[in-house]
Amino acid sequence: MATAASPTTTISGLAAVRAEIVRACRDAGREVAEVELVAVSKTFPAEAIEPVIAAGQRVFGENRVQEAKTKWPPLLEKYSGIALHLIGPLQSNKAKEAVALFDAIHSVDRRSLCEALAKEISKQGRQPLLFAEINTGAEPQKAGVLPQDADAFLTACRDSYGLTMSGLMCIPPLDQAPGPHFALTAKIAQRNGLKLLSMGMSADFGVAISLGATHVRIGSAIFGGRT
């Protein structure tokens, strides 16, 4: 796990991110309440997370089921009102654990996973918010549905698997301006009647908010660098 920054650093990082969200919303003529901050705590230990919880943050993002499963249950017992979001790739054989632990899954990207999720959602009677991940840059190493396949995939989510999809997620290519990727994701969401947009990370969440992000996933700007 990454080394924890001092609580003071983490708290000022959180405050700076919140202030930046307020400013980005004001610039975009949006309500601050429309944008959920998902504090990405992946690789950081519980000691690094607790000061952030104490500062009032309640929504956290993790990218691995296994890590979340060992780290979060004691924290969930100790603090109320916490929501966990899975932002990393999900293997179908972990769908059961993911549905049990997470309140949102941002990485729905293939039919086999839809099938596994649908089964667990009905079995467990739990309904996490579901986002389809779009590979807007068509990067071969990256997960996600290709933009040209997105409409058919979303139709299949609904009609073939009975899933209620709430939104889309994207991770723009590192070496490109993120704006066009966010705009494309927003356009696909709009034509499919999806309201939520998970886009924007530490480096680009202001741009994402200007293009309609409802969930910004922010790690290093709060917790510091990951090693």
Q: Does residue 87 touch ligand PLP according to CB under 6 A?
A: yes
Residue closer to ligand PLP, measured from CB, 105 or 171: 171
As beta bridge partners, residue 129 has 104
Q: What are phi and psi of 216, to 5 degrees?
A: -105, 135
Q: Does residue 219 touch ligand PLP according to CB under 6 A?
A: yes
Q: Segment 159-178, which members bind ligand PLP (CB under 6 A)?
A: 171
The span of 52-60, 72-80, 118-126, 213-221 binding ligand PLP (CB under 6 A) equals 213-221
Q: How many residues does this entry show for the chain?
A: 227
Among 4, 40, 52, 196, binds ligand PLP (CB under 6 A): 40
DSSP codes joined into one string, 32-92 = GGG-EEEEE-TT--HHHHHHHHHTT--EEEES-HHHHHHHHHHHHHHSSS-EEEE-S---G
Q: Does residue 202 touch ligand PLP according to CB under 6 A?
A: yes
Q: Which 8-state DSSP code applies to residue 16?
A: H
The span of 2-10, 93-101, 185-193, 199-207 binding ligand PLP (CB under 6 A) equals 199-207
Q: Does residue 220 touch ligand PLP according to CB under 6 A?
A: yes
Distances (CA, A) of 86 to 11, 123, 154: 23, 20, 19
Distance CA 43, CA 68 (A): 10
The span of 77-85, 93-101, 159-167, 218-226 binding ligand PLP (CB under 6 A) equals 218-226
Q: Which residues bind ligand PLP (CB under 6 A)?
A: 40, 42, 63, 87-88, 171, 201-203, 217-221
